[in-house]
Amino acid sequence: MSRSDDPSYRMAVGVLGWFGMAFLVFPVLLTIVVSFGGSVFIEFPPQSFSLKWYANIAEVQQIGRAVLISLGVALATAAIATVMAIPAALAITRHDFPGRGTLVAFLVSPVTVPMVAIGIAVSQFFVWIGGGTGWFALLVGHTVLVSAYPVRTLVASLSLSNPSLEEAAASLGATRWVAFRTVVLPQLMPGLVSGFLFAFLISFDNYPISIFLVKGGLTTMPIEIFNYISQNLDPTPAAFSTIYVLIVSAVIVLAERRFGIVSLSVKG
Amino acid sequence: MARIELTGLEYRVGVTRILNDVSLAVEEGECLALLGPSGCGKTTTLRVIAGFVTPDSGDVCIGGASVLALRPHRRNVGLVFQDYALFPHLTVAENIAYGLVRRRVPREAISRQVGAMLETVRLTGMERRRPQELSGGQRQRVALARALVIKPDVLLLDEPLGALDRILRDQMQVELKRIRRDLGITTIIVTHDQEEALSLADRIAVMFDGRIVESGAPEHLYARPETRAVMAFLGASNIVEGRIEAIVGDVATVRVGDFAVRAGHWGGKNAGDAVQIGIRPEAITIGPADSGSVENTLAGSVDELVYKGPHTEVYVRFPGGRDMIVRVQGRPALAKGSVVTIRFALEDVLVF
């Protein structure tokens, strides 16, 4: 009998698992409940229910503007990071080259370097080259931050895919480019999609780096939400967060259905 | 359909000599098995022909012309991978059509040829399935169909039956022979399984350590191998050390411990040479000495009986501790420990 068959072991793991899930999900549920509160102050449990805070999102124009800016930055960031990740992942999985281990470690490092450090570094860099802050600085900063994620998901995708597929394509008359397009790229779809999503989401709600790079009139969603919370006590941000959570969940469910990305991010 | 000729292929990785002067010709329509243990260079040889490995020196000719300068996609070689390498995102029909699409064959012609090929490999009705939904044997057929539909000059099979279980392997062996015979295509099969090589090939080339050590017709190679290694690799064998005592007329006498074994041929060895002798287990019979015969007779005791279904392997022990395996039809009425006499013909003794 292996240990995973032991009923008490299974129970302990099960309890821990559900406890962990609850720990992660509880704040989200709380936010959702609070967003429907009728009071002008955040209260739990709500004494009355209302949808007015959802209507209020539209009234707070700086949030709307910031969301559009964040969307633009996050889409551009994710696109650049994902495209850059393809050759990087191919090099890492298909070739052994000097410094490969270092490169892999480096690509994983933004995960371990404090974001504030990246924020300061990028803002200093732009001051140094005289570029100042703004949209382009946000794009660069976020790209530095998220670049590792698509590489990791693509490396996972590539190491799951069979290298002899490319050779099979070649033996059937496909040039390298055609083989890449018709055989390798379709194998990479789960990695591309999940890498893009990772990059997009991390960029979209990043605060610590953005705070160094925004300037007056050009702020991102998380910064505006934070500003709003520091000046107002009503549940509008909760309503906004609820919508955000719903949209992101829907996108992830769809991506999983279509591309099976979850198994990949676990392996990555 | 074309003749393949390899001349003096050399390939090194670092200091390791992967291919060592590999020269080989496969005639038009012939089926050659490259047989050898894993790591002997047989798969590398196949990859050189397919164009995935560029040899350090030597040449590869298909149909009389060198293909060494051609990239893999220009070589018109049908390749079946050990793991089949079917495209998982494409259906069976799309997999088979892949090479035709690359050749810009018109759509109607593609569907006609794919349909005909599905019939050849007996997969009609499966065209819309994905590789993941097929059994191992069906995947093998798709891989074969995909390689054959492009009408390659040569067909290269890498351990074609290695991933199949025993019963399926026997079925596919027959199937493969039928398809190959129908198409008459020049074929090279890479395998480490001597049974596969013996049953599928017109000719076998045995490879060890990057070098072709022997080649010939399966029955010749099995019955009259020139080297001990080839004999041992091509099936069960009894190989023992000895010394040639005398060569008189047509008979060489080899001293093996307490026994004198007489051999009908001795591979150019001389009296006094230390040699090895080999006898196939099925060339030996158990029975009382036949007085006056020209056979070898030895007396020993039954040490172990291993029943294998159609035959039984009898381990006979001789004074001095030597063992020999004897293959007997069915289940012999022998008891462990009983004293037996074995005999084998002079012709069946190989001297290395």
- Which whole number is the average pLDDT over B179-206? 92
A3, pLDDT greater than 70: no
pLDDT in tens, B114-133: 999 999 888 999 999 999 99
Mutate to test the interface with A, among B54, B87, B104, B132 (most CBs of A within 10 A): B87
Cα–Cα distances in Å, from B43 out to B29, B33, B159, B186? 21, 11, 9, 17
B/e letters for A147-181, b = 16+ CB within 10 Å, e = fewer, are: bbbbbbbbbbbbeebbebbbbbbbbbbbeeebbbe
pLDDT in tens, A137-156: 889 889 988 888 899 889 88
pLDDT in tens, A55-76: 888 888 888 888 899 999 999 9
Cα–Cα distances in Å, from B310 out to B330, B342, B343? 5, 20, 21
Query: Which among A164, A172, A175 is the nearest to B98, CB-wise?
Result: A172
d(CA A153, CA A41): 42
pLDDT in tens, A224-259: 888 888 888 888 888 999 999 999 999 988 988 888
Residue B262 has, within 13 A of its CA and on its CB side, a CA count of 14
CATH level 2 (architecture), domain B4-232: 3-Layer(aba) Sandwich (3.40)
d(CA A250, CA A252): 5
Q: Do B87 and A170 touch (CB under 8 A)?
A: no
Query: Which among B73, B74, B87 is the nearest to A183, CB-wise?
Result: B87
Strands B186-191 and B31-35, by their bridges, are: parallel
pLDDT in tens, B304-323: 999 999 999 999 998 877 88
Find chain A residues with C-beta within 8 A of B146's C-beta. 168, 172
Query: Which among B51, B52, B146 is the nearest to A172, CB-wise?
Result: B146
Query: Which among A167, A173, A179 is the nearest to B103, CB-wise?
Result: A173
Q: Do B52 and A167 touch (CB under 8 A)?
A: yes
A-B contacts at Cβ under 8 angstroms: 62
Find chain B residues with C-beta within 8 A of A172's C-beta. 73, 98-99, 102, 146-147, 150
Mutate to test the interface with A, among B44, B46, B98 (most CBs of A within 10 A): B98
Percent of chain B with pLDDT over 90: 61
Q: Do B81 and A167 touch (CB under 8 A)?
A: yes
Q: Do A170 and B73 touch (CB under 8 A)?
A: yes
Confidence of residue A119 (pLDDT cuts 50, 70, 90): confident
Q: Enumerate the domain spans of chain A.
A: 64-233+259-267
CA B67 to mean position of chain CA atoms: 26
CATH level 2 (architecture), domain A64-233+259-267: Orthogonal Bundle (1.10)
**pLDDT in the model for residue B31:** 95
CATH level 2 (architecture), domain B236-351: Beta Barrel (2.40)
Q: Do B98 and A165 touch (CB under 8 A)?
A: no
Residue B22: which residues within 8 A CB-CB, separation 6 or more? B6, B8, B9, B10, B41, B45, B58, B207, B210, B211, B212
Chain A residue closest in CA terms to B79: A171
Q: Do A168 and B81 touch (CB under 8 A)?
A: yes
Confidence of residue A266 (pLDDT cuts 50, 70, 90): very low
**pLDDT in the model for residue A260:** 76
Find chain B residues with C-beta within 8 A of A168's C-beta. 79, 81, 85-87, 146
* Cα-Cα-Cα-Cα dihedral sign, residues B93, B94, B96, B100: positive
Query: Which among A165, A171, A174 is the nearest to B79, CB-wise?
Result: A171
- In terms of C-beta density within 10 A (0-12 exposed, 13-18 middle, 19 or more buried), how is residue B82 classed? middle
B/e letters for B171-180, b = 16+ CB within 10 Å, e = fewer, are: ebbebbeebb
B204, pLDDT greater than 90: yes
Mean of the per-residue pLDDT values for chain B?
Answer: 90
Tell me how crowded residue B41 is: count the other CB atoms within 10 A of its CB: 24
pLDDT in tens, A159-170: 888 889 999 999
Residues of A with CB under 8 A from a CB of B: 162, 164-165, 167-175, 178-179, 182-183, 186-187
Structure tokens at A57: 């999102």
Tell me how crowded residue B339 is: count the other CB atoms within 10 A of its CB: 9
Q: Enumerate the domain spans of chain B.
A: 4-232, 236-351
Q: Do B73 and A172 touch (CB under 8 A)?
A: yes
Q: Do A173 and B73 touch (CB under 8 A)?
A: yes
